[in-house]
């Protein structure tokens, strides 16, 4: 994606492109507005759709695997039908949210469910630091000087 971002910036600064306006109008089409500026736009747009599809399928598959392992009590080889259930559930929830309230409902649901997880992440970070200090008490610098040796 860095290549696309740099290409969009180059087109916006040196070209006669309206990519920034396309982003402001409809961010979902901005990639295709950029790809339309280059030769073989139809082929690169088709490849863009394929890459985006692979990204979403891979992400969903990984999420299903993680949820499946967690619900199986940490067992790393749960039944395939259980993984299919979780993947189907993810897809059904996303489809219901999209059909029921559109993209805004889906985005709101992501933020509502993700915001409490921020607290969990902060607690995990705290517990990691605490655990490292317990496991390696000699490597913790107590005087605050990063250049002094610990004794």
What is the per-residue pLDDT across 68-122, written as a single tens digit (0 to 9) for each?
999 888 888 888 899 899 999 988 988 888 888 887 888 888 889 888 889 999 9
Q: Is the pTM of this model over 0.85?
A: no
Residue pair 47/33 in contact by the 8 Å Cβ criterion: no
Tell me the two tokens of residue 121: 């992440």
Q: How far is residue 60's CA from residue 80's CA, in Å, rounded to a whole number?
A: 15
Tell me the two tokens of residue 61: 């598959």
Tell me the two tokens of residue 41: 């736009």
Q: Where are the alpha helices (DSSP H) in the chain?
A: 2-14, 19-25, 30-35, 41-71, 80-135
């Amino acid at each position: 994606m860095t290549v696309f971002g740099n290409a969009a910036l180059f087109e916006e600064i040196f070209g006669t492109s309206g990519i920034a306006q396309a982003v402001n109008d409809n961010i979902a089409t901005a990639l295709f507005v950029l790809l339309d500026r280059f030769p073989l736009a139809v082929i690169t747009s088709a490849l863009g759709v394929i890459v985006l599809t692979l990204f979403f399928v891979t992400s969903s598959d990984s999420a299903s695997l993680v949820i499946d392992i967690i619900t199986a009590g940490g067992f790393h080889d749960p039944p395939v039908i259980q993984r299919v259930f979780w993947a189907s559930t993810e897809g059904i929830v996303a489809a219901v949210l999209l059909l029921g309230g559109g993209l805004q409902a889906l985005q709101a649901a992501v933020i509502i469910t993700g915001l409490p997880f921020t607290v969990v992440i902060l607690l995990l970070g705290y517990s990691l630091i605490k655990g490292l200090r317990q496991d390696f008490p000699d490597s913790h610098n107590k005087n605050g000087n990063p250049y002094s040796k610990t004794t």
